[in-house]
């Protein structure tokens, strides 16, 4: 089974690329989805987050106040490191287990979407790295369309390696500006070369 890692900057098209990969029959696990599962009510990671960051991060319904936690961790690198220490090992365990499950099923190809792939030193687990990228202007516009202000955008960018470095370290680069069809075609061409 060929296992690839897919990374890129925030708002650069990782989810869209994952959708195109799924349409081509590639198995895909997204670490952002795993992170959301890990912070559901009753999960040990959520309990640990509450202990580390305080009860004010949990709603009356017992759910994580994601926006409040994001404000805290993206304005304080020590807080972000504390959160990453809680989540990243658990996330890695889950995607590694998913790969092993697919390997047992004899799946031909799988992709793990990891925004912080290089930052978490996960590249050794993959045969090839795919980086999705776009210009800083397109990235800013996409994030602003999500309702993020300039400070939030800058904080998210600062929390990741520069996309130029990710591009340099990847074996495949998918440029995500322009029509979705061009994005889809790039994915199809890349799969031919895998």
Q: Is the pTM of this model over 0.75?
A: yes
The contacts of residue 155 (CB under 8 Å, 6+ apart) are: 74, 75
For residue 59, what is the domain's CATH number? 3.40.50.300
pLDDT tens column, 25-62 = 999 999 999 999 999 999 999 999 999 999 999 999 99
Tally of structural domains, the chain: 1
Structural domain boundaries enclosing 83: 2-193
pLDDT tens column, 165-188 = 999 999 999 999 989 999 999 999
Beta strand segments in the chain, E: 2-8, 27-30, 109-113, 128-133, 172-175
Q: What mean pLDDT comes out for the span 150-161?
A: 91
């Amino acid at each position: 089974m060929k296992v690839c890692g897919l990374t890129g900057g925030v708002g650069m098209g990782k989810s869209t690329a994952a959708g195109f990969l799924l349409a081509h029959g590639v198995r895909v696990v997204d670490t952002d989805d795993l992170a959301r599962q890990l912070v559901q009510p009753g999960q040990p990671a959520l309990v640990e987050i509450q202990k580390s960051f305080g009860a004010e991060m949990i709603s009356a319904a017992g759910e994580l106040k994601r926006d409040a936690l994001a404000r805290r961790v993206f304005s304080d690198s020590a807080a972000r490191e504390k959160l990453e220490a809680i989540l990243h090992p658990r996330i890695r365990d889950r995607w590694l287990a998913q790969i092993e499950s697919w390997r047992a099923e004899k799946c031909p190809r799988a992709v793990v979407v990891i925004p912080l792939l290089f930052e978490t030193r996960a590249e050794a687990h993959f045969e090839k790295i795919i980086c999705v990228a776009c210009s800083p202007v397109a990235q800013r516009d996409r994030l602003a369309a999500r309702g993020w202000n300039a400070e939030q955008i800058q904080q998210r960018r600062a929390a990741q390696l520069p996309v130029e470095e990710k591009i340099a370290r990847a074996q495949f680069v998918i440029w995500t500006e322009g029509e979705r069809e061009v994005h889809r075609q790039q994915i199809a061409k890349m799969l031919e070369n895998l």
